[in-house]
Amino acid sequence: MSASRHQRRPIRILPPQVAARIAAGEVIERPASVVKELVENALDAGATRIRIDVRGAGLHEIRVSDDGCGIPPDELPLAVQRHATSKLPEDDLNRIETLGFRGEALPSIAAVAELTIASAASEGALGRRLVLRDGRVVGDEAVAHPPGTTVTVSRLFENVPARLASLRNERAEAVDIVRTVQRLALAAPHVRFSLYVDGRAALQTTGSGSFRTALLEIYGAAIVEALREIERFEVRDAEIVGLITIPDLTRADRNHLHVIVNGRWTQPRTLLARLEEAYRPYLPRGRHPIAVVVVRTPPQLVDVNVHPAKLEVRLRHERDIARALAERVQTVLARTPKTLSLQLRPRSEDPLLRAVSEPSAMYEPEPDAPIVTPAFPPLRLIGHGNDGLIVLEGPDGLYLVDQHRAHERILAERLLAQYRDRRDAPVLLPEPVIIDVRPAHVDRFQRWFSQLASLGFRCEPFGPRSFLLRAVPELPGLVGGTSLPDHLGEFGELAPALLDLAGEVDDANDADWLERFVIQLACRTAVRRRTVLARHAQRALVQALGETAAPAVCPHGSPIVLRLERQLLARQFRW
C-alpha cells in the first residue's frame, strides 16, 4: 500500500447549486415527495380547493394549484430561496402549527427539476410568475392569476441521473402519488381535493369537513358498514377520535392505518404497534384494518422536526395515548359479532326489505321474551342445532352462538374479574375434591397453589402426595350461585385440569401464566359441544354471554358468535 496514492485536497465550501442538490436529496426523494410538499404549502396557505395534475408518474409534470392566500409579487423571489419561510414568525420551533416551516421545499424542488410558480395574493391584483432551472431564475414576468398559487414542476431528476435510475417503475411511483394525496386529503377533510393522473380522475373529495365522509370518498361506500367510531376521549392534554373497521373488512397491507396529529398525517410507531396489537386476535394472519386516528394536542407536545420529509413526528405521551386507544379499539372489536354477508353489499334502503327485516310483533306469537343484553340487539331464541350451536333471531339477521366458546368466555371473564377485584369469597365445595399429584411434582404443585389462592382456589395438603380442593371461585355453570345452571359444564374436569395445568407451568411467576391458566381452565371445563342443552340453559348462556365484555371472539381469535346478515339470506334464497 502506498501512502502517496491518496492525495489530500484542500477543504472548500461547495458551490450553492451542488449544496442545494445534496440537501434536496433528503426532502425530495421521489415524485410523490414533490406532490406532498406542494400540497402542504397549499394547505398552509388556507386553500379550500386543491387540484393536482400528474403526468408520466410525475416525472413528466406535476402541477398543483390552490385558492389559498397566494404570495404577493414582491415576496415571490424569496419563496424560492433556501431557508425562507413565512411560517416561523417568532422563530419558535416549539410551537409549529403549520405543515411546513423549514423553507426548504421550493428551493429543493428547484434544485432537481424545472419549477414554475405563479401566484396572486388577492382578487384583481396582478400576479407574478417565476421560472427556475437548476435553482436559478430564468424567467420572471407579470401574469394574470386568480387568487392563489400554481406550481408546475417538470423534468424532475433529469439532472440527478442516479436518482432517476433508482426510482421504481412508473406505476409504482404513480401509486405512491395517489396514496400520498389520499393521506393529505384524509388529514384535511375540510378541503376539496381533485387528483388527475394522466388526465384521469384518481381522487375527488368534497371537502365536507367530516373524517367519515373523507374515508368513504377515499375507500368507497362499501366500507361504511364496517366502520365503527371510537368516541372522543382525552389523555394527557391530547384529544383523540377515531374511525376503525371491524374485521369484516381488511386489507393485505398496513398502509391503511392513518394517524393524524394536529392535521399532519404521520406514523407514530408505538401508537401503530398498539393499534395492530389490539386487532391481532381478531384478524387472520397477514390482514390489516383500515383506521383513522385523529389526535389534537397543543403544538408544544409534538416535535415535528425529527424527519427530513416530516414523515415522523415525536408525540409526547404517545404511550399513554396508545394504551388508551388500544383499550377502546379492543372494546369495540370484542363486541362485534363476525358477520357473514355478501361480498358486494348493495346498500339497500328498500323500504320493502326493511319491513321484512323488522320482526313484526303483530303477526308473530312470541313464546319467549327476547333476550336483552348490552352486547347484542334483542335476540329471540329459536333453538338448538347440532354442533352445539344455539340459533337466535335478531333484527339484523340470524345469530349462531357456539355454546362451548360462549361458556368458555363467561368462565374466563369471571376468573379474571375474581383475580382483579377479589370481590367474592370462594365458594365452598359441598364435597372437597381430591387431587393426586405425582411425587416429583408435589413441591411445584404446592408452590403453584399458593398463587392460585389469589384466584379463589383453596387447597390443602392431604397426605404425602394428595391435596384437597375445598373452595373455588364462583364458576358460572360449574359452581356457585349464578344464573347459569350448575353442572352445565364439565365439573369433573376441574381437578384433572388443575393437575395438568400445574404440570405445564414451570415457573408460575412468568408474566402471562395467569392468562394461560384462565384460558385453558375455561376451555377444559366449559360445556362441550355435543351436550344437549335445555331451553332455559340456552337462554341463560346467551344472556350471560351478552353481559361479558368481549362476547364476539374467543381468546384465540375464533368467533363465538356469527351473524348471518339478512341480506345474505335474501340473496341466497333469491327471495
Among 102, 335, 407, 524, binds ligand ADP (CB under 6 A): 102
Which of the choices ligand ADP, Mg ion, none does residue 149 contact, using the CB cut-off of 5 to 8 A by kind? ligand ADP
Q: Is 42 in the site for ligand ADP (CB under 6 A)?
A: yes
Distance CA 190, CA 195 (A): 16
List the beta bridge partners of residue 392.
381, 399
Distance CA 126, CA 340 (A): 61
Stretch that binds ligand ADP, among 102-110, 430-438, 508-516, 519-527 (CB under 6 A): 102-110
Distance CA 415, CA 411 (A): 6
Query: Which stretches of the chain bind Mg ion, using CB under 5 A?
Result: 41, 100, 105
Output 107 or 397, the one with its CB closest to Mg ion: 107
Minimum separation from the CB atom of position 133 to ligand ADP (A): 17
Among 24, 34, 57, 106, binds ligand ADP (CB under 6 A): 106
Distance CA 513, CA 505 (A): 7
Distance CA 178, CA 199 (A): 13
Stretch that binds ligand ADP, among 21-29, 89-97, 103-111, 334-342 (CB under 6 A): 103-111
State the cell numbers at 295.
Answer: 389526535
Distance CA 131, CA 153 (A): 10
Q: Is 68 in the site for ligand ADP (CB under 6 A)?
A: yes
Nearest Cα neighbor of 575 from 248, 348, 401, 370 is 348
What residues have CB less than 8 Å from 337, skipping those under 6 apart? 376, 399, 551, 552, 559, 560, 561, 562, 563
Minimum separation from the CB atom of position 206 to ligand ADP (A): 21
Minimum separation from the CB atom of position 106 to Mg ion (A): 7
Minimum separation from the CB atom of position 160 to Mg ion (A): 20
What residues have CB less than 8 Å from 6, skipping those under 6 apart? none
Helix (H) or strand (E) holding 107: helix 105-112
**Do β-strands 291-296 and 257-261 pair in parallel, antiparallel, or remain unpaired?**
parallel
Q: Is 39 in the site for ligand ADP (CB under 6 A)?
A: no
Residue with smallest beta-carbon separation from ligand ADP: 100
Minimum separation from the CB atom of position 309 to ligand ADP (A): 12
Minimum separation from the CB atom of position 3 to ligand ADP (A): 46
Output 86 or 373, the one with its CB closest to Mg ion: 86
Residues 78-97 close enough to bind ligand ADP by CB under 6 A: 79, 84-87
Minimum separation from the CB atom of position 99 to ligand ADP (A): 7
Distance CA 371, CA 551 (A): 14
Among 70, 268, 394, 426, binds ligand ADP (CB under 6 A): 70
Distance CA 480, CA 417 (A): 15
Which of the choices ligand ADP, Mg ion, none does residue 42 contact, using the CB cut-off of 5 to 8 A by kind? ligand ADP
Which of the choices Mg ion, ligand ADP, none does residue 79 contact, using the CB cut-off of 5 to 8 A by kind? ligand ADP
Interior/surface letters 201-220, b for 16+ CB within 10 angstroms, e for the rest: ebbebebeeebeebbbbbbe
Output 105 or 502, the one with its CB closest to Mg ion: 105
Output 36 or 409, the one with its CB closest to ligand ADP: 36
Which of the choices ligand ADP, Mg ion, none does residue 101 contact, using the CB cut-off of 5 to 8 A by kind? ligand ADP
Burial status of residue 469 (CB atoms within 10 A of its CB: 0-12, 13-18, 19 or more): buried
Minimum separation from the CB atom of position 198 to Mg ion (A): 26
Residues 145-164 close enough to bind ligand ADP by CB under 6 A: 149
